[in-house]
Chains A and B, each alone.
Chain A
């Protein structure tokens, strides 16, 4: 049985469907990321699961029980808010123990369990402090401990890392995932950061205008995006507009255009998507290699060294083509902006969506 099930959840604000028929199954112990741009309905969906907002239609089931009309205080869901929402007038320990206090757990038991929750996030030494005496990362951990202390049926994370700087965000992301796995918590994670969603989640639900555009494993949404929106939102790509006739597509203007190949047939106006790590940098003027029937000639627009990879951008008549090279590959060292270059890739790595 699914730990969480959403059935046709809908929420309307001023005539606009903020959430428009969201359905979802979530197995116990797994983590689903609701991924999408702001205004896509991901936060509203989370708030409806928490009971902080009422759906206009649809049902929410937790472990088979309909909780759609239960108030938030009867749902026992651990929520980590974007702003953490720690109670500023209470100590860290009182914050973590608040949920247990509301459940009527006795003082000594409450102390023991809130200490245990603080231990989980490595903050037992800060129990007596007020939230404002802690750093952003520590506050985030307290918020997580507070949500975990009530032994929630679901863990709901609303952009829990977005207020932190990049390095800390990565560290806490790993910590959170390890903790969630260890406790076997079923979790819904709302984020607009695709890298975060791919790294954390068992299932990613990419949301667009109140609907789930695609639900799948991180690999599914990255490698096999269902729509042009998903392909655009998750990961970078070369995006080349063109006209398809079967497995060939004409891209670029008239005589300067190129014929590119796709593995599956398409017809009419399309946009081709190719991931930067699938594209090879070839010598200019070199004949098309076996396996790289798709080639585009252009000039190098930029060379960005980012540490492990070097991100090139090629300007071609068909459009801009980003290429990721391993920094170990010495090829990029001889490149200069403005120099001619050729990009090549396989038809099987070419995704096409109707434009």
Chain B
């Protein structure tokens, strides 16, 4: 295939990308440079929204909280998904397809429905607290706080990490683990010296995917945080819809975009180093 046909084949995707992503992004960038005063929008070109946000300690708190929430849920999801994906890749069970489907089935349910499910489990009268009460233990506040959001978000990004890991495990050759075993490596040793290093690119990829999804997650922090959990995504929503402060919403959106771009750049640099 020549360069030109390659480019031609990419054209529809590029066109859609330009129309549905770059164009709105341009509008957003432009919007972030506007100015509002008493709820009125002035089409200026000024960086004062950015300056105001940068000087506000709240923005930095939000940034830290959002990064922490995404990192913790990405890590949690990865730790839960890794053994699952490894099992799915290995098993010769005839239920394999059904199990794989079960692992990613949460994707088939709307995010809102899943949150409501979690509320039923974690709520004050929910399953967990009913269980604690039955054991004579004190009830734990598990919703409308960071704990609840953390649990919900971890669960909501986990199917994606399973998928990303499964895709990345394709090149994991079980003969390598057999070879390690015959050379005297016990299973745990084989796992750390062979399996983990070989799946590191998949691990990194899955983690980044979960992290990015976590950064842009809106439903879970909003509904499970009960209005007490603030992250960048919810703040953007509030600025755009509640206070109608579009320049602030746009500036925050641009800021999140920059953060994610930096993280993706760090990931690809890291991948180059670990890539075998």
Do A and B bind?
yes
Listed in ascending order, the chain A residues whose CB lies under 8 Å from chain B are 50-52, 71-79, 81-83, 85-89, 98-99, 102-103, 130, 146, 150, 156
Contacts A99-B183, A130-B276, A150-B184 given; indicate if A87 touches B178 (C-beta within 8 A): no
Contact of A81 (CB < 8 Å), options: B175, B186, B197: B175
Q: B198 on the interface (CB 8 Å rule)? A: yes
A76 cross-chain contacts in B, Cβ below 8 A: 184
Q: B107 on the interface (CB 8 Å rule)? A: no
Residue of B nearest to A103 (CB): B184
Q: Is chain B's binding surface mostly helix, strand, loop or mixed?
A: helix
Q: B179 on the interface (CB 8 Å rule)? A: yes
Assembly CA distance A81 to B178 (angstroms): 9
Scoring B residues 169 to 211 as 1 if CB is less than 8 Å from chain A, else 0, what string do you get? 0000101101111111110010001100110000000000000
Count, chain B residues at interface, CB 8 A: 18
A82 cross-chain contacts in B, Cβ below 8 A: 175
Structural contact, A79 and B184, CB atoms closer than 8 A: no
Residue of B nearest to A82 (CB): B175
Structural contact, A52 and B181, CB atoms closer than 8 A: yes
Q: Chain B nearest CB: distance from A22 CB in Å? A: 20
Residue of B nearest to A75 (CB): B182
Structural contact, B189 and A72, CB atoms closer than 8 A: no
B185 cross-chain contacts in A, Cβ below 8 A: 73, 98, 102
Structural contact, B182 and A87, CB atoms closer than 8 A: no
Known contacts A83-B175, A85-B175, then 12 further A-B pairs from the complex at CB < 8 Å, ordered by chain A residue: A71-B186, A72-B178, A72-B181, A73-B182, A73-B184, A75-B182, A79-B178, A83-B173, A98-B183, A99-B184, A102-B180, A102-B189
Structural contact, B178 and A85, CB atoms closer than 8 A: yes
Q: Chain B nearest CB: distance from A86 CB in Å? A: 8
Contact of A102 (CB < 8 Å), options: B175, B178, B184, B197: B184
Contacts A52-B178, A81-B175, A130-B276 given; indicate if A87 touches B194 (C-beta within 8 A): yes
Q: Chain B nearest CB: distance from A248 CB in Å? A: 54
Structural contact, B198 and A88, CB atoms closer than 8 A: yes
Contact of B176 (CB < 8 Å), options: A50, A51, A85: A85
B186 cross-chain contacts in A, Cβ below 8 A: 71, 73
Assembly CA distance A180 to B244 (angstroms): 81
Scoring B residues 70 to 103 as 1 if CB is less than 8 Å from chain A, else 0, what string do you get? 0000000000000000000000000000000000
Structural contact, A71 and B181, CB atoms closer than 8 A: yes
Assembly CA distance A135 to B185 (angstroms): 27
Contact of B183 (CB < 8 Å), options: A71, A102, A130: A102
Contact of A51 (CB < 8 Å), options: B179, B182, B193, B198: B182
